[in-house]
Amino acid sequence: MPKKDGFSAELKKNKILFLMLVPTIAFFLINNYVPMVGIYYAFTKFDIQAGLFGSPFVGLDNFKFLYQSNILWNITKNTILYNLVFIAVGNLLQIFIAVLLYKLSGNVFRKVTQTLMFMPYFVSYVILGVLVYNLFNYELGFINTLLKSLHIQPLDVFNSPQLWPVLIPVFYMWKWVGYGTVIYLATMLGISSEYYEAAEIDGANIFQQIRYITLPQIKPTFIILVLFALGSIMKGQFELFYQLVGSNGNLYITTDIIDTYVYRSLMFDFDIGIGAAGGLYQSVFGFILIITVNFLVKRRNPEYALF
């Protein structure tokens, strides 16, 4: 049977179901698939009058510029390194806290602290920006007021790029620790209590129980989360970086990621071609990474494959 018949037959049979999907299909077409045509901008010197296909074609010039100016190396390095820190430290911290919450004795304490640690997730990044400013403001900031009262030299955080590879992960942890803990704690709560009862009879202490029962049981969740995160390692936490650093050029060397660079190309430098090239580079490189990760995982252990 020819394919076309199959589709129209299905369309006829499930007319209503297709209709119900129309908003979704339209959304992803407009938002994701049609704009892919605009990838062409990456190869042009953008001219607003001439439009997409009227702008002069410049081949790989935009990519060459990014490469030769060292920008590409810097933003790629920052994007990947920050993400690796987020993945490694984030997951370990979340697992650690989840284990503590899971096994500690007080139910009320667990509930209250879990709720409070979840709170930062609900706050907008603008508020996080306010917060960081008020913590670190040179003259008035909370931290510097504290340092001054201890007769320690105040920190000039907004002119010290070397401090940010620590500060950004700290605030990332702050924002996401509760969220990740929720996932791990839920997984732990799904572990059958029989394991622990048996272990206790065998004389295993609480640390041994965690080591030999809890941790192995959450391994699949851990692996899935890490693989997902590795798959999107080229995507930066735009809002986090932008709200903390904004357009403070002093800090770009250690804080600029692909997403912030592309955003500024668009909004401040009006460098459409260069920005589009940066975005396309991110997309293609990221895509290749995901496919590779997925391929390797599938070969080793198909259960963990992303798709």
Q: Is 206 in the site for another protein (CB under 8 A)?
A: yes
Q: Which is nearer to another protein, 88 or 146 (CB)?
A: 146
Q: In sequence order, which ranges of the chain are alpha helices (DSSP H)?
A: 3-13, 15-28, 51-54, 61-68, 71-103, 107-118, 125-136, 142-149, 164-189, 193-201, 206-209, 215-231, 238-245, 252-255, 258-267, 272-300
Q: Is 89 in the site for another protein (CB under 8 A)?
A: no
Stretch of residues binding another protein (CB under 8 A), selected from 58-66, 67-75, 80-88, 95-103: 95-103
x/- track of binding to another protein for residues 43-82 (CB under 8 A): ---------x------------------------------
Tokens of 231: 């798959």
CB of 11 to another protein, least distance (A): 10
Rule CB under 8 A: choose which of 72, 168, 262, 297 binds another protein: 262
CB of 63 to another protein, least distance (A): 13
- Residue 156 CB burial class (10 angstroms; 0-12, 13-18, ≥19): exposed
Q: Which residue has the tokens 């002069």?
A: 56
Q: How far is CA 187 from the centre of its chain?
A: 22
| CA distances (Å), origin 145, targets 22, 155, 254 | 57, 10, 26
CB of 216 to another protein, least distance (A): 17
Residues 51 and 134: beta-carbon distance below 8 Å = no
Residues 122-181 that bind another protein (CB under 8 A): 122-127, 129-131, 133-135, 137-142, 144-145, 148, 156, 158-159, 174, 177-179
x/- track of binding to another protein for residues 175-204 (CB under 8 A): --xxx--xx--xx------------x--x-
Stretch of residues binding another protein (CB under 8 A), selected from 58-66, 72-80, 81-89, 236-244: 236-244
